[in-house]
């Protein structure tokens, strides 16, 4: 389910408030624009998700620590199911967040994006379920590969290569 | 439970790998140091947590949307329970992440930090539990205030004011 126009607007305003709060200590910096705040938010979410993916990869390829995998799978699932996607709202195709956005400037194919976002949400939720419930590391590894492929599919379509 | 030295080291290496992956598209930038990557990670996590806190605040002070509050409470709980705290490892008291760290340069009182981190983990987990299980908005609001106080206590002790 893609968010409504209203929820996109609410999310944008909330994100801007969060960014202003987060930057309260940096009054000397230029005030962020709404797009800046949204781009920072999605870059932040990807940074945290990336760290947890790397930790799961280390675990499934090496010595498996179930507690670490459960924590990281829960973090990924809750972040990608936590309405991250409004942060790709119109107006954020180009801009400076923490760094220049790598979002492809030609913008968003909403239907394809919704499909890929849905895959990532479903794959991540299933990974969190398996990590907690299964003693079978191979099945966790297989599901983690699906999550990584979901990430890659979206990068292929929507992230600049250069 | 505070992480062991070994898990701190593993987390640092994993975080560095994640950052290198995340920045693969920016080969022209100087290679990040280990401290840079750790500081970016914690700043990212706080950015995402801040957004979710703002969304819960909007909900408990206005029109309450249970689905949004559950999603945000789950995201906060899984991020703060996901071994964020190694990102305050020695060597990251000063440095540049996405922006100059606001971490107090005099460093970490480990005992006090562990106490505050434990409070935040417990308060956030309880908020996620209440948000899902309770129809009583007032109890969710009270518990959210506790989470916000946990954040503030740590900022008071460990974040620069300027």
Question: Which residues of chain B does A73 touch, with a Cβ-Cβ cutoff of 8 Å?
Answer: none
Per-residue confidence (pLDDT) for residue A142, from 0 to 100: 97
Q: How high does pLDDT run on average in chain A?
A: 82
Instruction: Specify the pLDDT at position B8.
Output: 46
Tokens 């809750």, residue?
A78
Residue pair B97/B42 in contact (Cβ under 8 Å)? The answer is yes
Predicted pLDDT of residue B107: 65
Report the pLDDT value the prediction gives residue B77, as an integer from 0 to 100: 98
pLDDT at residue B146 tops 80: yes
Query: What is the predicted pLDDT for the residue at B14?
Result: 47
Indicate whether A15 pLDDT > 60: no
Interface subset of B 113-142, CB within 8 angstroms of A: none
Is the pLDDT at A73 greater than 70, yes or no?
Answer: yes
Residue pointed to by tokens 């417990």: B122
Residue B3 has pLDDT above 60, yes or no: no
User: Can you tell me the distance from the alpha carbon of A70 to that of A129, in angstroms, rounded to the nearest whole number?
Assistant: 9
Q: Tokens representing A6?
A: 């209203």
Give me the percent of chain A exceeding a pLDDT of 70.
Answer: 78
Question: Is it the case that residue B25 has pLDDT exceeding 60?
Answer: no
Contact residues, chain B, for A29 at CB < 8 Å: 99
Cβ-contact A114, A54 below 8 angstroms: no
Q: Is A21 on the interface with B (CB under 8 A)?
A: yes
Note whether A99 contacts B17, CB cutoff 8 Å: no
The answer to whether A81 contacts chain B (CB < 8 Å) is yes
CA distance A9 to A32: 17
pTM for the full model? 0.80
Q: How confident is the model at residue A31 (pLDDT cuts 50, 70, 90)?
A: low
Lowest mean pLDDT among A41-55, A83-97, A108-122: A83-97
Place of tokens 């440095």: B95
Query: Longest C-alpha distance within chain A, in Å?
Result: 53
Percent of all residues in chain B with a pLDDT value above 90, rounded to a whole number: 53
A153 touching chain B per CB within 8 A: no
**Closest chain A residue to the Cα of B159, Cα to Cα:** A25
| A102 shares contact with chain B (CB less than 8 Å) | yes
* B43: number of Cβ within 10 Å: 21
Structure tokens at A17: 């408030």
pLDDT digits (tens, 9 = 90+) for B91-142: 888 888 999 888 886 767 889 989 999 999 999 999 999 999 977 999 999 9
Q: How far apart are CA B98 and CA B78, in angstroms?
A: 22
Report how far residue A37's alpha carbon sits from residue A12's, in angstroms, rounded to the nearest whole number: 8
Residues of chain A found within 8 Å of residue B159, distances taken between Cβ atoms: 25
Predicted confidence at residue B26, as pLDDT, reads 38
pLDDT of residue A26: 38
Average per-residue pLDDT for chain B:
82
pLDDT at residue B110, as a whole number? 85
pLDDT score at A32: 64
- Give B 44-73 residues with CB within 8 A of chain A: 44-48, 50-55, 58, 68, 71-72
> Would you call B149 an interface residue with chain A, using a CB distance cutoff of 8 Å?
no
Using DSSP, state whether A96 is helix, strand or coil: strand
CB contact at 8 A, A41 and B77 = no
Q: What confidence category does residue A86 fall into, taking pLDDT thresholds of 50, 70 and 90?
A: confident
Listed ranges A51-55, A113-117, B156-160; the one with the highest mean pLDDT: A51-55
Q: Between A41 and B22, where is the model more confident?
A: A41
What per-residue confidence (pLDDT) applies to A64?
A: 96
Among the residue ranges A27-41, B63-77, B101-115, the one predicted with the least confidence is A27-41
């Amino acid at each position: 389910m893609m968010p409504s126009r209203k929820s996109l607007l609410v999310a944008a305003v909330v994100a801007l408030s969060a960014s202003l709060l987060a930057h309260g200590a940096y009054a000397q910096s230029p005030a962020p624009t709404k797009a800046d705040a949204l781009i920072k938010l999605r870059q932040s979410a990807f940074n945290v998700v990336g760290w947890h993916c790397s930790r799961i990869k280390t675990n499934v390829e090496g010595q498996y620590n179930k507690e670490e995998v459960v924590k990281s799978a829960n973090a990924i699932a809750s972040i990608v199911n936590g309405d991250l996607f409004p942060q790709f709202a119109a107006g954020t195709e180009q801009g400076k967040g923490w760094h220049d956005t790598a979002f492809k400037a030609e913008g968003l194919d909403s239907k394809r994006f919704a499909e890929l976002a849905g895959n990532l949400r479903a794959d991540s939720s299933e990974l969190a379920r398996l990590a907690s419930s299964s003693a079978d590391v191979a099945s966790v590894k297989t599901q983690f590969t699906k999550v990584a492929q979901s990430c890659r599919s979206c990068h292929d379509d929507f992230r600049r290569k250069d």
